[in-house]
Structure 1
Amino acid sequence: MTKLTKNTLFKVYDSKPETPMDKTTRVVRQMVDEETEQRNARNSRLRNARLEREANKPPVTKASEASKARRTKAASTQ
């Protein structure tokens, strides 16, 4: 009986050459992945800027909210 090794146990298949369609698919997926990374980076940068701006914004007092509400009610009844 033959001695079993990884070379004799499993058949080695030669990979077929890349077809033009495979090449196109590979290039398009790479482009889409790069665009996704850029979009995620931009979104996180903008999100951090928005959160920082909101953190530095002075808090809104309830009195100013109430006066705005009264003004809008008064304007709508006229």
Structure 2
Amino acid sequence: MVGLITYRDIIKVRVQPNSNKDSYGRLRVAAAVGVTLDALDQSRCSCKAGVDAIVVDTAHGHTEGVVNTLKVIKKNTQI
């Protein structure tokens, strides 16, 4: 199977045709990175690939490692 389209999907497209699409009509895409040593490299590669958002995937968002990872990614990438 490549994909699945339901009747409900067709109704949603008719009601909100531009929902979650960028200015080129493409679906928006996000990439998740962990709090690891290669988070910056993963973020840069994802940005080059054309993602619309970077998400830091963690169970404990208040930790120092998460805050530092966010600062480094924000400072060194353009989204």
Q: TM-score range by the shorter chain?
A: under 0.3
Q: If you compute each CA radius of gyration, which structure gives the higher value, 1 or 2?
A: 1
Higher relative contact order (CA 8 A, sep 6+): 2
Name the structure where helix makes up a greater proportion of residues: 1
Q: TM-score, normalised by structure 1?
A: 0.21
